[in-house]
A and B are shown apart, each in its own frame.
Chain A
Amino acid sequence: MDFTLNDEQRMFAETAQTLFADTCTPDHWRKQMETGEARDDARWQAIVETGFTLLLLPEAVGGLGLTELDFALIAEQAGYVALPEPLVESAGVAAPMLASLAPDHEALSDPSATIAIQHPSNPFVLDADLAAAILLHKDGEAYLATPDQVTLTREQSIDPFRRLFRVDWDPAKATALGKVDWDLALDRAALFCAAQGLGLAQRAVDMAVSYAQERQQFGKAIGTYQAVKHHLASAQVAIEFARPVVVAAAADIGNCDVQARARVSHAKLVALEAAEKAARASIQVHGAMGYSWEVDVHLFLKRALALTQNWGTPNFHRSRIATRMFTQPTGPDQTFARETENA
């Protein structure tokens, strides 16, 4: 039993943190919003060069063969900067799924290519227009198409960086890939949503702390007032009790049993609750500034709201936890128990 990250994992997280801190600043967000460009090419190139897009792919297809825990640490950092590019959906969910179905597919050979995924739990597909390939679902089977083989209709998200598309397509014009584990894709996506939620939450708190240290009212920094302190302390408590759940879910996800799935669901619920709580506290602490477009806190709220409802609604995830509770033993000796031990 060891609940600590190893040096390599810590190093990966630090690398991601530095890369995103340099390439995804508020100036970058604003420029991207003004120009309406889907991607910051320099940033995406830096991400690709660092190997993040290959992290979860098996070594046999040129990947790094690392684990969901390693990727979750990067997803957390992506959340901290509300990363506009679909790194998590493509490299964390779609690419490993494609690699399991068609390891020789050419879209996997280009580490800068992105793969989009249409999943039964989501109505829309993120960044479908720029993807080298789109994974599609019909009757439990997976299909693959390129953007020009389908009809894409843009849907506007409240999150300025979430580029959503409705995909209309004809199975006759797509490549059939056969049966696939859509639940595994959902588990990975939900886990990485949770990891992003931790980053979103911490950034919202950190922004509010900086503001409350500077902003003066009644002759003092507003951060001296307990009413302000307590908002942010409560948000930090939510983060502190979401993080170990996310880490444990990441470490256990490969078990694919009732317990592992419940823990992923738990992680997604509480990490995104923490993100929403932190973002709302941050807006409140910023006062009218927090309600203004230029202060950027809204980006974290909007991302949190979107991720909360995608890749399984809160109700879906709660029901998976209820299934674990009412079909498997519970209690203090069951924290790390597996379904096979109780079969």
Chain B
Amino acid sequence: MDLTYTPEQQAFRAEVRAWLDVHVPSEPLEHFDATREGFEAHREWEKTLKSGDWGMVTWPKEYGGRGVDLIQWLIFEEEYYRAGAPGRVNQNGIFLLGPTLMEFGTHEQKVRFLPKMASGEEIWAQAWSEPMAGSDLAGVRSTAVLDGDEYVLNGHKIWSSRAVFADWAFGLFRAPGSERHQGMSLIFFPLDAPGVTVNAIKKINGHVGFAEIFLEDVRVPAFNRLGDEGQGWHICMATAGFERGLMLRSPARYQVAASKLADLWEQHKDAADPALEAEVVRAFMNAEAYALNIYQTASRLMAGAKIGPEASTNKIFWSELDIHLMETALAILGPKAELTQEAPDAYPYDWIDDYIFALAGPIYAGSNEIQRNIIAERMLGLPRK
């Protein structure tokens, strides 16, 4: 147990900070889910990041990374959020598919996909959910049939974040006739391939960041299958572990938000309900607790442990702390809380957009109800049925 940074870790922080100081855009970019322009501006930012070799720092150098460890990754994330740098438009690629590719991909697949992922040249969407396969993901009906050295894909995917603008998707497909957890494979397809139709779905915040994807006899090389045929469920659960357990939501995101909330409280406390101070303190505590938990997880992984079902506790914790933090901000703001980013009086008090976004947290990446089932069954050992 040693809760101090080594000189090397401090030097790494200084290096990240110095680079971000120079390169982070001074004006916030338009949201990547709002318009094509916003999306492309974020792709440009990803290219800028890659120019400094910051695309995905934990990956080996040969795949476009810097080969640093998880503590340095946390330091990078801390500096990234501290600098107010743009959101990662390729988060489904770099944080979800990337680690999974690293674990299950062949060298050729890694060489083909990871460097362009790290540079933002290819931006990825996730194509898992279907109209009849949401929380019950094993209910996926889309099919993949091997024809020579190509797969023929058919089916209907939905709730794919950023698929309207993205270049590639990683989808879950099954062999015709297979059932439930058997017979599924994880296969990549270009979103502009013949036979792919992408329709935008508007979210409650007005953004078009969701899509449904129709696949009609879409042909992709068998090279695009990650892992073995039929191993798809196993791989998806590993991806979900990264997603829920470590990478999707950096603690730094909430620590920055908690600091802003503290500032908001100091500015408004004379007019606000004094009882709200306890909630401001609570938001700080939650963000700190999440950070400490992630440092603990990172240390364990570096000591050789694997992410397990406790990843589900993370997903519940960050999604619920996010909502609590944002609703505290709205309570402090009172009648001005409803003003959106577009309102002339809103800035910098545009918390309502973050509040609306936070409400998605308990739904995506596996609903919190499903996470609680996982905790109960796999951590605590309660019976499935």
- Binding between chains A and B: yes
Interface residues of A, Cβ cutoff 8 Å to B: 1-6, 9, 69, 205, 209, 212-213, 220-221, 223-224, 226, 228-230, 232-234, 236-237, 240-245, 247-248, 251-252, 263, 266, 269-270, 318, 321-322, 325-326, 330-336
Q: What is the minimal beta-carbon distance from A106 to any residue of chain B, in angstroms?
A: 35
Question: Once bound together, how far apart are the Cα atoms of A248 and B296, in whole Å?
Answer: 10
How many Å lie between the Cα of A1 and that of B375 in the bound state? 28
Extra pairs beyond A6-B1, A226-B369, A332-B251 (15, CB < 8 Å) = A3-B3, A3-B296, A3-B298, A224-B383, A224-B385, A226-B372, A229-B376, A234-B316, A236-B313, A244-B295, A251-B3, A318-B281, A325-B280, A331-B259, A333-B78
Residue of A nearest to B376 (CB): A229
A185 to B113, CA, bound (A): 57
A272, B289: Cα distance in complex, Å: 14
- B interface residue numbers (CB < 8 A to A): 1-6, 9, 13, 71, 77-79, 81-82, 251-252, 255-256, 258-259, 262, 266, 277-278, 280-281, 284-286, 288-293, 295-296, 298-300, 303, 310, 313, 316-317, 369, 371-373, 375-377, 379-385
Assembled-state Cα–Cα distance A233/B370 (Å) = 11
A76 CB to closest chain B CB, in angstroms?
15
Known contacts A230-B372, A335-B288; A322 and B382 CB within 8 A of each other: no
A213 touches B298 (CB 8 A): no
Given contacts A232-B382, A236-B375, A322-B277, is CB(A332)–CB(B78) below 8 Å? yes
Q: Is the CB of A213 within 8 A of B78?
A: no
Which residue of A has the minimal Cβ distance to B1? A251
Partner of B377, one of A220, A229, A240, A325: A229
Please give the distance in Å from B62's CB to the nearest CB on chain A: 26
The answer to whether A244 and B372 touch across the interface, beta carbons within 8 angstroms, is: no
Nearest CB of chain B from residue A95's CB, rounded to whole Å: 23
Measured in the bound complex, the distance between the Cα atoms of B2 and A69 in whole Å is 11
CA distance A220 to B82 in the complex (A): 51
Write out the residue numbers on chain A whose beta carbons fall within 8 Å of the beta carbon of B303. 4
* Interface contact B289-A241, CB-CB below 8 Å: yes
Q: Beyond A3-B298, A241-B313, A333-B78, is A248–B3 a contact (Cβ under 8 Å)? A: yes
Among A1, A236, A237, the residue within 8 A (CB) of B4 is A1
Q: Are B78 and A1 in contact (CB under 8 A)?
A: no
Known: A223-B383, A332-B291. A237 touches B317 (CB 8 A): yes
Chain A residues, CB < 8 A from B310: 240
Known: A224-B385, A330-B255, A332-B291. A205 touches B380 (CB 8 A): yes
Cβ distance A236 to chain B, nearest Cβ, rounded Å: 6
Whether the Cβ atoms of B82 and A326 lie closer than 8 Å is: no
Closest residue of chain B to A206, judged by CB?
B380
For the complex, what is the distance from the CA of A209 to the CA of B299, rounded to whole Å? 29
Please list the 5 inter-chain residue pairs (A to B) with the smallest Cβ-Cβ separation, ordered nearest first: A229-B376, A332-B252, A332-B78, A3-B299, A233-B372
How far apart are the CA atoms of A4 and B279 in the complex, in Å?
Answer: 31
Chain B residues in 8 Å Cβ range of A331: 82, 255-256, 259
Interface centre among B258, B278, B291, B376 (most CB of A within 10 A): B376
CB distance from A180 to the nearest CB of B (A): 27
Q: B5 touching A336 by the CB < 8 A rule?
A: yes
- When the two chains form their complex, are residues A321 and B2 in contact, meaning their CB atoms are under 8 A apart? no
Q: Which of B71, B255, B376 contacts A332 (CB 8 A)?
A: B255
User: CA A326 – CA B317 in complex, angstroms?
Assistant: 24
Q: Which residues of A contact B380 (CB under 8 A)?
A: 205, 209, 232-233, 236
On whether the beta carbons of B375 and A209 are closer than 8 Å, the reply is no
Chain B residues, CB < 8 A from A333: 13, 78-79, 82
Docked-complex contact A330 and B281, CB < 8 angstroms: no
Q: State A245–B78 Cα separation when bound (angstroms).
A: 19
Complex: A9 Cα to B369 Cα, angstroms: 36
- Give the distance in Å from the alpha carbon of A333 to the alpha carbon of B280 in the complex: 19
Q: What A residues does B298 contact at CB under 8 A? A: 3
Q: A240 to chain B: which residues have CB within 8 Å?
A: 293, 310, 313, 317
Beyond A252-B3, A332-B78, whether A236 also contacts B292 by CB under 8 A is: no
Residues of A within 8 A of B371 (CB): 233
Q: Let me know if B288 and A266 touch, CB within 8 A.
A: yes
Set of chain A residues within 8 Å of B278, measured between Cβ atoms: 318
Contacting residue for B256 out of A228, A263, A332, CB 8 A: A332
Residue in chain B with minimal CB distance to A239: B313
| Shortest distance between the CB of B290 and any CB in chain A (Å) | 7
Cα–Cα, bound, A5→B252 (Å): 24
Q: Which of A1, A232, A263, A334 contacts B71 (CB 8 A)?
A: A1
- List chain B residues, Cβ under 8 A from A69: 1
A229 vs B244: C-alpha distance in the bound complex, in angstroms? 19
Residue of B nearest to A205 (CB): B380
Q: How far is the CA of A248 from the CA of B290 in the complex (A)?
A: 12
Known: A230-B369, A322-B281. A241 touches B293 (CB 8 A): yes
Q: A1-B5, A233-B380, A325-B262 known; A245 and B256 CB under 8 Å?
A: no
A232 partner, pick from B291, B293, B369, B376, beta carbons under 8 A? B376
Nearest-CB distance from A313 to chain B (Å)? 13
Question: Do residues B381 and A335 form an inter-chain contact, with CB atoms below 8 A?
Answer: no
Closest to A2 in B: B2
